[in-house]
Structure 1
Amino acid sequence: MTGQGQADLDLVGRYLARRDPGADTEPADVLVLCGSAVLASVDVVADLWRRGVAPTIVVTGGVGHSTSYLRAAVAHAVDDVPIAGRSEAAVLGELLARAGVPADAVRLEEEATNCGENARFTLDLLGPGPGTLLVLQDPTMQRRTHASFEHLGARVRSWAPLVPIAAARAGVWSEERFRSLVLGEVRRLRDDEHGYGPRGAGFIGHVDVPGDVLAAADRLAAAHPGSVRAAVTDSGQP
């Protein structure tokens, strides 16, 4: 990939990996860990819990279209964790236990299969008045997940578990998969007939995507047309 292409990937990746200033130190009521194959998120959530940022962790994730990536990542990186037939939340909950987080600090939501359901089912589990939520997600989906919680009226902060510039991406995604993910995310965030905003599917509120991010995504899409993922599928919100 050209130097411009790497710079564009870094720019789009930084934008998608939303980190609200102070979110990793300011008190919250609940930490929400969304299921993904980015196993670094487990250590980040465990550290936030140990530092007293929030007393409770909700792990959300059932069995969806990306669960196979989580199972593969766990099988490669961790010994003796059962993965077959288990939800993302159950697998990540076990990893949190191995990281020293006690079971009574963790609640599992095992039905969600996409970002919108992560938000909706987590809020259903918590019930009225859940307080401030600190949400962690796959960095490529962090901004959309934040928008999904906001769309449902939640008071939410974001802290992506890592910022996926080139050095941080190594070993987490192949370049091809990362490029496909970020281009699909920008397409979803655009508030037009192809996106998830009010002018499209209506899954999230309006998101102002900066012009330099849109330009970078357009250059990447033009250079790699096969990497552009469809934004909306027949099954709903991927």
Structure 2
Amino acid sequence: MGSAVLESVEVAAEAYRVYSAPILVSGGIGHSTQYLDDAVRRRGLDLATGRPESHVFRDLLLRYGVPAKEVSVEDQSTNCGENAEFTRRIISTPQTLLLIQDPTMQRRTHACFERSFADLPGTTLLSQAPLIPWIGDQVSAGPDTPEIWTLDRFCSLILGEIHRLSPDVYGPQGRNFIDHIDVPGEVLAAYNRLVAAYPASGRHP
């Protein structure tokens, strides 16, 4: 899926090299597309911006040596649910899908794909976050790697994700975008501590 996390391209390209698996990149122009464009500029990449996220990722995958014929795009989706829904329209036979997404959204993405592919028995869904965020003055893939998020942006993202996973928000008792997810007690406790420490950071639907 398209996002501001360019490390996803490296992971997808490596998966292609190891497994020779074709790649489908899902992502149109949405509320976070500007963050992808900013990431491209920060890294000095010579790529046109203002385009569907999947087009930017496709161009990067080609630079990593993935053949053009092995990269397809879905460029109409504007959110996580549509990533899954529109991908399901393209994939009509059961197969194994490796989902690579912004790590802050990985759990919700998996849940959305479970919902969208529930009518295709035999489908196996695997998730691979492209990195474990390194947190310092900024948030990145490591201490000597380019910034992915500011600390405030990262807090906003993770607080918004835990909120969305609640049964009465995006779950069955709320907007019913995803099936019920059991969020571990220690995660909820950490969420409550962060909400208290960063009351302005919560992103709510």
Fold similarity call, TM over 0.5: yes
Structure 1 length as normaliser, TM-score?
A: 0.78
Query: Which residue of structure 1 aligns with residue 152 of structure 2?
Result: 176
Question: Quick one: which of 96, 99, 108 aligns to 1:135?
Answer: 99
Residue aligned with 1:225, SS: coil
| Residue segments in structure 2 that go unaligned for 5+ positions in a row | 141-146
Is 1:210 equivalent to 2:184 in the alignment?
Answer: yes
Residues 163-182 of structure 1: per-residue CA shift (max 9 Å, x gap): 12426933111110000000
In the alignment, is the contact (CA less than 8 A) between 1:146 and 1:158 conserved in 2?
yes
Inter-CA distance 78–124: structure 2 relative to 1 (3 Å threshold): farther
Displacement of 1:190 after TM fit? 1.2
1:1-238 correspondence to structure 2 within 5 Å: 34-52=1-19, 54-84=20-50, 86-126=51-91, 128-152=92-116, 153=118, 155-166=124-135, 169-170=139-140, 171-192=147-168, 195-230=169-204, 232=205
Flag structure 1 segments of 5+ consecutive residues without an equivalent.
Answer: 1-33, 233-238
Distance 2:150 2:170 in 1: 26
Q: CA deviation at 1:132?
A: 1.2
1:85-109 deviations in Å (ceiling 9; x for gaps) = x110001100000010000101000
Q: Distance in 1 between matches of 2:45 and 2:99?
A: 27
Amino acid in structure 2 at the alignment position of 1:179: C
SS at match of 1:108: strand
Q: How many residues align?
A: 193
Q: Whole-Å Cα distance in 2 between the matches of residues 186 and 79 of structure 1? A: 33
Q: Which has the higher contact order (CA 8 A, sep 6+)?
A: 1
CA–CA distance in 2 between the matches of 1:111 and 1:64? Answer: 9
Q: Could you tell me how far apart the structure 2 residues matched to 1:68 and 1:138 are?
A: 15
